[in-house]
Structure 1
Amino acid sequence: MKKIDCTGLQCPTPVSKVKKYFDSIGEGEAIVLLDNEIANGNVTRYAMSHGYHVESREKDSVYEVVIEKRGCLEILEEEKKVSILISSDKLGEGNDKVGDTLMMRYIDVISEEEKLPTALIFLNSGVRLVCEGSKVIEGIKLLEEKRVKIYCSATCLKDYKLDDKLLIGKRVDMTEIVEIMNSAENLIKL
């Protein structure tokens, strides 16, 4: 049985490691070692959502999650058009450093997901994320390579004096932004 040691790792890294392993095999088992309840819950939910058999137990302050991928139930869901409106270059409120880190991790995680959004729409200070100097530009480029449409407010680019700094995405006006938002079945605002 494969052992995946995720002790000392913060989410989403344990889920990413488990996903990478199970994506690389047809069938098999792994025991995942975790040292915090949040990671245990996230890994367990991930495995269950993919139809894997899961058993979790705590032993000496370490969670052992046994995951088995055999003849898994295929979970079929209808694909929905999801657009994400990103109106800030930081995720959350408060500490700027934490907000930067959270946004970097968010972009990294969604770029690795199987279910991708249809579009990312950048407004307000969010336009900084698709311009020169962006710490997340590689993740956004990866999303575009995976056919996620990237849109950027022309008005916001002009207002933030970034007209000539745009690296990725299509400049759009408010009419186009409203059309994109209205065509989405689900709209997520960050």
Structure 2
Amino acid sequence: MQIDARDLFNPKPVVMALTALSELKDGETLALLVNDGKAVESLVRLADEQKCKFIREDEGDYTVVTLVPSHRIKTNHPVEKAVSYMDFGSADAPILVFGSEAIGRGDKSLGHILMREIIFDLAHQEVVPKALVFINSGVKLTIKGSAVIEDLQILEKLGAEILSDTVSLDRYGATDELLVGEPIDPYNLARILTGQPGVVSL
């Protein structure tokens, strides 16, 4: 079986891999086309835990990852499992939680300006956050119409995970408007925030 997971970011390719592995027949292999390095790293962890043979072939601007399972694999919660394979990088790098599209209290227009400046600065400094998590109206920063999409894309390419809460996206009718990063459900969001040191709320 072959799956084209190019232009999809971690953990989405891993979720697709886990789902596909559970559908393979005896003797079948799974090949994934991936161009997100973080996803490839997670697939390595998947292969190690699930005792799959791992074959990597670089094809220029993307990688073909082939998984050869040694037994039938069944995953009841592929999203939760995929999140467990994610690497949030250096212990010194923080996880930043954005609960609004503006920062601070008081003048809201000033809050929007400051938020744009802060995200721009985050994208152009040496220390890259482990993850940027967007909840409540903060998800408006990751959807169509946001003024910071380009800077968030830079952060993602530098290795930061960009995660938007699914309940918040649904509340603002923006589930299909996400332009950067991946959606994440509250259960796995809570797991990340409680399992990692250095969480900073903005």
Whether the aligned pair in 2 keeps the contact of 1:89 and 1:127 (CA below 8 Å) is yes
Structure-1 residue corresponding to 2:32: none
- 1 CA distance for matches of 2:118 and 2:199? 16
Distance 1:97 1:188 in 2: 23
Q: Deviations over 1:30-67 (max 9, x none)?
A: xxxxxxxxxxxxxxxxxxxxxxxxxxxxxxxxxxxxxx
- Whether contact under 8 Å (2:93, 2:128) holds in the other structure is no
**Match in the other structure for 1:100:** 112
Which position in structure 2 is the counterpart of 1:129? Answer: 141
Is residue 181 from structure 1 mapped to residue 193 from structure 2 by the alignment? yes
- What is the total number of aligned residue pairs between the two structures? 113
* 8 Å Cα contact 2:91/2:197 also seen in 1: no
Contact 1:81 1:185 in 2 (8 A): no
| TM value normalised by structure 1 | 0.57
Structure of larger gyration radius: 1
Q: Which runs of 4+ in 1 moved over 3 A?
A: none
Match of 1:149 among 158, 161, 164: 161
**Structure 1: distance between partners of 2:161 and 2:98:** 13
2:122 to 103, 110, 134: 110
Specify which of 153, 160, 171 is matched with residue 159 of structure 1.
171
Deviation track 1:139-168 (CA, whole Å, cap 9, x = no partner) reads 111100101001100000000111111101
Which one-letter code corresponds to 1:146 in the other structure?
Answer: L
Alignment TM-score, normalising by the size of structure 2: 0.54
Q: CA shift at 1:183, angstroms?
A: 2.6
Identify unmatched segments of 5+ residues in structure 2.
1-89
Deviation at 1:113, TM superposition (A): 1.2
Cα RMSD, aligned residues only = 1.2
Q: In structure 2, what residue type is equivalent to 1:172?
A: I
Q: What letter is aligned with 1:128?
A: K
